[in-house]
Chains A and B, each alone.
Chain A
Amino acid sequence: DGGITQSPKYLFRKEGQNVTLSCEQNLNHDAMYWYRQDPGQGLRLIYYSQIVNDFQKGDIAEGYSVSREKKESFPLTVTSAQKNPTAFYLCASSRTGPLNEKLFFGSGTQLSVL
């Protein structure tokens, strides 16, 4: 079945450590996105990518980095510069073009700080 796979489901970060969240999709979508969700809040866009080897900062990119070396993969690294990383992280993908705006979400990664 086609879909988006995020791993791990739960992740713990030690102070000063970089951690990487995995996101893989087999929907043949061009566009991929990373969102952060804090309790009681909506989703905020961290980074997005429309094509391989190209990505753009979203509203809260500081302390995060991404790569898009393959169409299927869009990993997110939470760096030590992100001082408040505890949140629920959601990866999404979509087709591009007019009215191709339905986002397909992965199951999410809950990141906590030890």
Chain B
Amino acid sequence: QKEVEQNSGPLSVPEGAIASLNCTYSDRGSQSFFWYRQYSGKSPELIMSIYSNGDKEDGRFTAQLNKASQYVSLLIRDSQPSDSATYLCAVNPFSGGYNKLIFGAGTRLAVHP
């Protein structure tokens, strides 16, 4: 059974700090990796995608991928209270075609003023 593991949290950080969210996956052949943000009672929204080893930056968000260690992380710089949400890590174990994403259970982030 292919798995994606995340700490459930809550991860509590002060406003302006860096929030670090981590995710590990079991299928070594996985090709693409995603971070979704989900506010309570709402649908997930994609915030980052990453396909190759290293860092990918987009505004205050940085995704990091290490395929050898089978982990992917998300850094949120200058955290804001509006970043408080559940962050879902998703992994596609297939190289294109069907998007049979496998989702982790999510990490709840709480940014306090």
Contact = CB atoms under 8 A, between A and B. Distances in A.
Contacts of B95: 98
Nearest to A96: B97
Contact of A42 (B4, B43, B45): B4
Interface string A50-91: 100000101000000000000000000000000000000010
A99 B51 contact: yes
Give the bracket for the number of chain A residues in contact with chain B.
20 to 34
A43 B92 contact: no
Contact of A40 (B8, B41, B42, B100): B8
A45 B96 CA distance: 17
Contacts of A106: 43
Contacts of B100: 45, 48, 58
Main secondary structure of the interface of B (DSSP, over half): loop
A48 B98 contact: yes
Contacts of B88: 42-43
A103 B91 CA distance: 12
A7 interface: no
A108 B98 contact: no
Interface string B70-106: 0000000000000000001010100111111101111
A103 B98 contact: no
Give the bracket for the number of chain B residues in contact with chain A.
20 to 34
Nearest to A56: B98
A82 to B, nearest CB: 20
23 contacts: A35-B103, A40-B106, A43-B88, A48-B100, A50-B97, A56-B98, A90-B44, A97-B96, A98-B95, A98-B96, A98-B97, A99-B32, A99-B96, A100-B96, A101-B32, A101-B49, A101-B96, A102-B49, A103-B99, A105-B45, A106-B43, A108-B42, A110-B41
Interface of A: 31, 33, 35, 40-45, 48, 50, 56, 58, 90, 94, 96-103, 105-108, 110
Interface of B: 4, 8, 32, 34, 41-46, 49, 51, 88, 90, 92, 95-101, 103-106
